[in-house]
């Protein structure tokens, strides 16, 4: 991997692309210090845009990054839109992590830019990435790519994926802050490529624990995370992809976690369910397309193959 995994305790870690960060505070009492650096509620409102700025934003910035899953890309109008936050939600084992891995692998393999992958539950699997890469058929004809042996091909992809372990909200604030500083100073690059995709798998595992009595400022911290992610997406033309789990809605129904406050945050919300190897993707929210659109597709074999050993 091109990055050193985050660890608990003091000191600092450095990624392979020069992204330096000190380890985040572990005690929730440090939240007062962290909150001093968080955006004010005024930043949440943003600024006014005139018509020409909106047109330029759409035509010059908001391109799509293909996930490599053709049916999902078609459903979303092209893939993950740059400058926006996309949420993948669904029950356990529905394929949320696999969509993240497939998106990272496809974008890295096509040399579209670097991917920052924030892993909150040790779900990142290099062996699964390898399986995906070897199965991407449309890369065979890409110039120069077919000349690479499998190992060199995989190494090239892995160098484009910066992976960090993030296990609490404070570590997330720290990594996002350091990412923004590095992007501002143009220090996160690899051979001229810049970060184009930020993945957090999963955002709910970090935010759900702070929404409650233990963290009185939990909801404000959740909104602060939302502000930072959308600001990174807009300022640096990133596509931000996060995953969210489902919770009970009563009467046997389920709904995305994190409540009504978070519901308004994603620009795009896609729900995935799976029965055997048949997946159903449903658009819950989209800035350009009607909600309720669905697509059924057979999951690629590499998405739901045998489980890969996770790193300790």
> How many domains does one find in the chain?
1
Nearest residue to 36 (alpha-carbon basis) of 226, 149, 170: 170
Residue 244 domain-assigned? yes
Residue 141 domain-assigned? yes
Angle formed by the axes of helices 96-109 and 150-159, to 10°? 110
Decide: 272 and 95 in contact? Cβ < 8 Å.
yes
Question: Nearest 5°: phi and psi at 166?
Answer: -135, 115
Residue 112 domain-assigned? yes
Length of the chain equals: 312
Cα 93 to Cα 40, 154, 168, 266, 306: the distances in Å are: 37, 26, 22, 22, 12
- Which band of pLDDT confidence, cut at 50, 70 and 90, is reported for residue 62? low
Residue 309 domain-assigned? no
What does pLDDT average to over the chain? 79
Residue 119 domain-assigned? yes
Question: Nearest 5°: phi and psi at 296?
Answer: -105, 140
Highest mean pLDDT among 110-119, 289-298, 300-309 belongs to 110-119
Render the burial of 192-206: b for 16+ CB within 10 Å, e for the rest.
ebebbbbbbbbbbbb
CA distance 260 to 211: 12
When mean pLDDT is compared across 225-229, 250-254, 294-298, the lowest value belongs to 294-298
Residue 8 domain-assigned? no
Q: Tokens standing for 273?
A: 């369910």
Range of the domain at 145: 60-303
Give the CATH number, domain containing residue 201: 3.40.50.300
- Which band of pLDDT confidence, cut at 50, 70 and 90, is reported for residue 25? very low
Cα 210 to Cα 152, 220, 223, 243: the distances in Å are: 42, 10, 12, 17
Residue 179 domain-assigned? yes
Residue 128 domain-assigned? yes
CA distance 170 to 69: 33
Q: Express each pLDDT in 268-302 by its tens digit.
A: 999 999 888 888 999 999 988 889 999 987 766 54
């Amino acid at each position: 991997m091109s990055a050193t995994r985050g660890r608990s305790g003091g000191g600092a870690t450095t990624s392979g692309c020069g992204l330096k960060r000190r380890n985040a505070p572990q005690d929730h009492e440090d939240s007062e210090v962290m909150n001093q650096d968080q955006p004010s509620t005024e930043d949440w409102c943003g600024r006014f845009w005139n018509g020409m700025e909106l047109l330029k934003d759409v035509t010059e910035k908001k391109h799509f990054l293909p996930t490599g899953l053709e049916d999902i890309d078609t459903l979303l109008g092209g893939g993950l839109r740059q400058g926006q936050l996309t949420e993948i939600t669904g029950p356990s084992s529905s394929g949320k992590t696999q969509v993240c891995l497939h998106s990272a692998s496809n974008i890295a393999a096509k040399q579209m830019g670097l991917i920052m992958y924030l892993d909150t539950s040790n779900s990142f699997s290099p062996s699964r990435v390898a399986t995906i890469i070897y199965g991407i058929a449309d890369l065979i004809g890409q110039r120069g790519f077919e000349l690479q042996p499998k190992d060199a091909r995989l190494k090239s992809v892995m160098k484009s994926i910066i992976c960090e372990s993030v296990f609490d909200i404070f570590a997330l604030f720290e990594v996002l802050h350091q990412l923004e500083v590095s992007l501002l100073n143009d220090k996160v690059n690899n051979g001229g490529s810049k970060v184009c995709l930020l993945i957090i798998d999963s955002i709910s595992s970090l935010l759900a624990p702070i929404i409650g009595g233990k963290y009185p400022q939990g909801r404000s911290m959740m909104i602060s995370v939302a502000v930072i992610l959308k600001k990174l997406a807009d300022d640096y033309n990133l596509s931000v992809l996060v995953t969210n789990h489902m919770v009970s809605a009563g009467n046997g129904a389920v709904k995305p976690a994190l409540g009504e406050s978070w519901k308004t945050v994603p620009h795009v919300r896609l729900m995935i369910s799976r029965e055997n190897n048949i997946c159903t993707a449903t658009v819950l929210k989209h800035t350009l397309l009607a909600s309720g659109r669905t697509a059924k597709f057979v999951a690629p074999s590499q998405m739901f193959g045998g489980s890969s050993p996770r790193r300790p």
